[in-house]
């Protein structure tokens, strides 16, 4: 099968993914073989390919927002059927019996593994995944629109849940890439006011088009403090102005898997008055199901920028440069 293979992490400017052919993977008893139609390109892929996240497996096929068709079932599978359209997300497998798994916090599982990091992902014609971690894709989304929901969407959804917003709250979003433009629509549909902080002119424009209540580059200019804020950009320095722009008792959620160093905080200016800082780590299966259901009901409009599989390096490069409107998606096979 065709695949984009990473042999050694390196800056995307050097095109570290190689177009090659490899064997079609064999599903284990509890796994399913999926013929990949599309695969989203996520900022986490960038951190994996460039090595900010230490390698877990090399060589590696990245990609963890996979939409495809079930091609073959392992001998112990019975939940899905051949021909069914399913999604594969970042959380590949959990142990099911550690203290976190049994407390409904499987995203913190002691021995969880991840798609396109611990095991090969979707920058290839076929992928395997445990049957218990597949998600049926709602019919209202085509293969291209569905892909970004599987990470950008899910992580945004979990970040929003962790904001603890009350009815008619004010939510500030820092950065307006793939995840932010999806969570924006969910928060808006739930009745919240949206403020968007972004340096990028075209990101600001996209936020205005979606009906943001305020858009700007300087959080100090927000018309009023926010009840909650989510930082999507991997920029640690943003934590300070984001905390300063919160109301008393407000919550700041950091949604990235990687963040540059956070400068020292001043207790009085940034934290006192019960301002909380929370992070988001992966997702539970419940998050994924919740997101897909709510996104289909609204329905969320997914902005995508399509690339052929072989252009994965270019997609990552443009993502790094902040040039992509919405989400980059690789078209792997015809639909």
Identity of the residue, 240 or 305, whose beta carbon is nearer to Zn ion in the bound complex: 305
**Whole-number Cα distances in Å, 117 to 20, 36, 99:** 19, 17, 24
Identity of the residue, 153 or 219, whose beta carbon is nearer to Zn ion in the bound complex: 153
Q: Do residues 134 and 189 make contact, with C-beta atoms less than 8 angstroms apart?
A: no
Could you tell me if residue 19 is left (phi over 0), alpha (psi between -120 and 50 degrees) or otherwise beta?
A: beta
Q: Do residues 42 and 150 make contact, with C-beta atoms less than 8 angstroms apart?
A: no
Residues 101-160 that bind Zn ion (CB under 5 A): 101, 109, 151
Nearest to 225 by CA among 199, 244, 253: 244
Helix (H, G, I), strand (E, B) or coil at 227: strand
Identity of the residue, 107 or 204, whose beta carbon is nearer to Zn ion in the bound complex: 107
Please state the closest distance from residue 32 (CB atom) to Zn ion, in A. Answer: 21
Angle of the 178-189 helix axis to the 154-161 helix axis, nearest 10: 50
Of the candidate spans 38-46, 50-58, 116-124, 157-165, the one that interacts with Zn ion by CB under 5 A turns out to be 38-46
Identity of the residue, 44 or 284, whose beta carbon is nearer to Zn ion in the bound complex: 44
- Decide the pairing of beta strands 170-174 and 193-197: parallel
Of the candidate spans 91-99, 217-225, 281-289, 295-303, the one that interacts with Zn ion by CB under 5 A turns out to be 91-99
| Using rule CB under 5 A, residue 86 touches Zn ion | no
Choosing from 44, 145, 185, 204, the residue that interacts with Zn ion (CB under 5 A) is 44
Identity of the residue, 102 or 168, whose beta carbon is nearer to Zn ion in the bound complex: 102
| Using rule CB under 5 A, residue 94 touches Zn ion | yes
Angle of the 285-297 helix axis to the 154-161 helix axis, nearest 10: 100
* Backbone torsions φ then ψ of 305, nearest 5 degrees: -135, 115
| Using rule CB under 5 A, residue 89 touches Zn ion | no
How far apart (Å, rounded) are the C-alpha atoms in residues 296 and 144? 14
Residues 154-193 that bind Zn ion (CB under 5 A): none
Please state the closest distance from residue 112 (CB atom) to Zn ion, in A. Answer: 7
Identity of the residue, 3 or 154, whose beta carbon is nearer to Zn ion in the bound complex: 154
Choosing from 15, 22, 98, 259, the residue that interacts with Zn ion (CB under 5 A) is 98
Choosing from 95, 240, 277, 306, the residue that interacts with Zn ion (CB under 5 A) is 95
Footprint of Zn ion (CB under 5 A) = 42, 44, 94-95, 98, 101, 109, 151
């Amino acid at each position: 099968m065709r695949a984009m293979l990473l042999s050694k992490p390196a800056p995307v400017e050097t095109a570290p993914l190689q177009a090659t052919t490899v064997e079609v993977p064999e599903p284990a008893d509890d796994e399913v073989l999926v013929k990949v139609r599309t695969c989203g390109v996520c900022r986490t892929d960038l951190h994996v390919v460039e090595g900010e996240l230490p390698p877990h497996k090399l060589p590696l096929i990245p990609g963890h927002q996979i939409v495809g068709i079930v091609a073959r079932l392992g001998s112990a599978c019975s939940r899905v059927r051949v021909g069914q359209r399913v999604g594969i997300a970042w959380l590949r497998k959990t142990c099911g019996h550690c203290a976190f798994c049994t407390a409904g916090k499987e995203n913190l599982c002691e021995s969880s593994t991840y798609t396109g990091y611990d095991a090969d992902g979707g920058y290839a014609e076929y992928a395997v995944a445990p049957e218990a971690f597949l998600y049926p894709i709602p019919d209202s989304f085509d293969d291209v629109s569905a892909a970004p929901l599987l990470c950008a969407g899910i992580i945004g959804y979990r970040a929003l849940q962790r904001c603890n917003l009350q009815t008619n709250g004010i939510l500030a979003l820092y950065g307006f890439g793939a995840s932010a433009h999806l969570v924006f629509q969910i928060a808006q549909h739930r009745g919240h006011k949206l403020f968007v902080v972004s340096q990028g002119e075209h990101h600001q424009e996209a936020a205005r088009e979606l009906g943001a209540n305020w858009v700007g580059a300087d959080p100090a200019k927000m018309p009023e403090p926010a009840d909650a804020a989510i930082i999507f950009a991997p920029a640690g320095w943003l934590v300070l102005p984001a905390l300063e722009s919160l109301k008393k008792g407000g919550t700041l959620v950091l949604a990235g898997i990687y963040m540059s160093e956070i400068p020292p905080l001043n207790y009085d200016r940034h934290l006192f008055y019960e301002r909380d800082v929370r992070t988001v780590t992966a997702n539970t299966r419940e998050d994924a199901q919740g997101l897909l259901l709510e996104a289909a009901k609204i329905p969320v409009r997914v902005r995508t920028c399509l690339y052929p599989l072989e252009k994965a390096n270019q997609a990552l490069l443009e993502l790094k440069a902040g040039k992509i409107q919405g989400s980059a998606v690789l078209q792997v096979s015809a639909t």
